[in-house]
Amino acid sequence: MVCSHILPDEPQSDSGARDLAALARTSRALQEPALNALWRSQETFAHILRCMPSDLWNIPVVSGAVYHLEVVRPLALSDWERPLFYMNRVRILTLSLCLPKEHFFPHINSLVWKN
């Protein structure tokens, strides 16, 4: 399909991503393949977080490329509708962390994930 050729080898290419996003908005016939190609490979959670409702958090201004996210209300099930629509399309997730230490939470005793 033509959509797989629009995004170059660099998965997060701005021009290729913009072209695919525009193509997805062009017609219903092209929407699904364009979105699948656009979301296939992700290198950050930022795109998913941007799909969440804007009233969910506050992003205070922080210098440089560092972002601080403050959750201002509890997550609701409905908050996940749009992100899940796109997360279902992700086939490759590559994350890299630049941590000054070996462990993410060196003294954590408990991690609770509630659903």
- 88 lies in some domain: yes
- 73 lies in some domain: yes
Q: Which domain holds residue 87?
A: 3-93
- 99 lies in some domain: no
- 100 lies in some domain: no
The pLDDT-based confidence of 71 (bands split at 50, 70, 90) is confident
Question: What digits encode the pLDDT tens for the residues 7-37?
Answer: 555 545 677 889 999 999 998 999 999 999 9
Phi-psi region of 90 (alpha: psi -120 to 50; beta: other; left: phi over 0): beta
- 98 lies in some domain: no
Asked if pLDDT for residue 76 goes beyond 60, the answer is: yes
- 8 lies in some domain: yes
Question: Among 92, 95, 98, 96, which residue's Cα sits nearest to residue 9?
Answer: 92
Q: What is the number of domains present in the chain?
A: 1
Asked if pLDDT for residue 93 goes beyond 60, the answer is: yes
CB neighbourhood size of 42 (10 A): 21
- 109 lies in some domain: no
Question: Among 62, 2, 66, which residue's Cα sits nearest to residue 36?
Answer: 2
